[in-house]
Amino acid sequence: MVSSLCLNSCAVPRAAKQPLSSLIQPHKSPSLLPHKFCISRASASASVSISDKKELRSTDLVALEYADLNLTDKISQELGHVRIRQHVNPLSSSFSVPAPVPDWSEVFKDPTLPLMVDIGSGSGRFLLWLAKQNPDSQNYLGLEIREKLVKRAEFWVKELALSNIHFIFANAGVSFRQLVSAYPGPLMLVSILCPDPHFKKRHKKRRVVQKPLVDSILTSLMPEGKIFIQSDVVEVAEDMRKQLDAESGALQHIDMVDPSVLCDDEGWLPNNPMGIRTEREIHAEFEGAKIYRRLYQKKRN
């Protein structure tokens, strides 16, 4: 295991042994192309064709960010058009049954490797990119409540021939504990990135970060394991932060572990330390929105 002041390779695919502070880049204006879109990350021809033929859109930035995956369009022939319902009610009876625990030795080539769990994995591209960077050192599990997205993500797993990533159709609030407690290896990182906001006051109980889930994560997370949260909705970010800050007996924010880590005046991380941005993150920053991020580490004792 690397130093406690470092993110493990499950969190930082291209610089696993670097301290977190060295991974935080100077803030760039959302109106500018971020460093991901230099010619070394995407082909010059792709960049030129986009800029020459049409006005740049956030979907173009997503395509460039994830160009390394080289996913094909034949998914549409296998599953049909995948429409995304933006807000799903996790309290519905249809999502109340825990997801069955898979045979981890069938899911992963090596089920003893450190595990990252992404709660609300969406399309899965974010987790697929990480898994592709670390095929032999980390395992990745995506939990998603929209079944069609899970089926498409699993199709892409097979297409990329990856043996260190799996997606499960699951309500994390119901299934997280039993799924992760059955995993043979250590839980190193949990990410909850731009979850459904459920804006209405009467719907706040539908938000994914609730006390029972936080308790399950803390029980399963290994010492010095990490929890990474972010949202482009400040109310949602503050709600998640409040619940994790309340666990000060078990968690520390990363700048308390490593004082060289940069936070803004309100205690938010200015940049994503994962090495890749989520699709929602790209869309939000393209529109000029701020992303609110926090990274916690579990104490040893």
Q: Is 74 exposed, middle or buried (0-12, 13-18, 19+ CB in 10 A)?
A: exposed
Look at phi and psi of residue 97 and say left if phi exceeds 0, alpha if psi is from -120 to 50, else beta.
beta
What is the H or E stretch that residue 137 is in?
A: none
| Cα 34 to Cα 282: distance, rounded to the nearest angstrom | 10
190: β partners? 117, 227
Distance separating alpha carbons of residues 44 and 264, to the nearest angstrom: 34
Vertex 293 angle, CA 167 and 182, to 5°: 30
Tell how far CA 67 is from the center of its chain: 18
Structure tokens at 1: 């295991």
CA distance 211 to 94: 22
Catalytic residue among 196, 232, 239, 264: 196
How far are the Cα atoms of 132, 190, 213, 223 from residue 218, in angstroms, in the given order? 27, 10, 9, 9
Catalytic, 73? Answer no
Cβ within 8 Å of residue 209, ≥6 positions away: 192, 195, 229, 239, 240, 243, 244
Active site residues: 196
